[in-house]
Amino acid sequence: MLVLSGLQGRVVSLCDDNSLHLWEVNEGLMEEVKTQALEGNFTVLLSSLFDSRLKKISAVCLESARQHLLLGTEGGNIYLLNLRTFEMSDTIIYQDVVMQK
């Protein structure tokens, strides 16, 4: 679970099934407002267990501009989740680019 500081009353949770859930806290009540799954936004369907493990989210970090969550995967790629829309960005930071730095 990640409390989004600076974004009033918002919490993001990551579940075992690789789904992300956006919660809002209003007047002491916590309500789920949106859900997102990493694999649901890509046109290529993953058929093998090995491929799906490559997109298993293993790290979550709020970028300094607080516009995106950076989702690190077991495969080494980093995906961006737009916090305003709670939709996946088309931008992917590939492992080979990260390793070159």
pLDDT in tens, 85-97: 999 999 999 988 8
Contacts for 30-38: CB closer than 8 Å, 24+ residues apart: 34/86, 36/81, 36/86, 36/87, 36/88, 38/71, 38/73, 38/79, 38/88
The string of pLDDT tens digits covering residues 30-73 is 999 999 987 643 334 434 444 566 788 999 999 999 899 999 99
Model's pTM, two decimal places? 0.77
Spatial distance between the Cα atoms of 96 and 93, rounded to a whole number of angstroms: 9
- Domains of the chain, each with CATH number or no CATH: 2-100 (2.40.128)
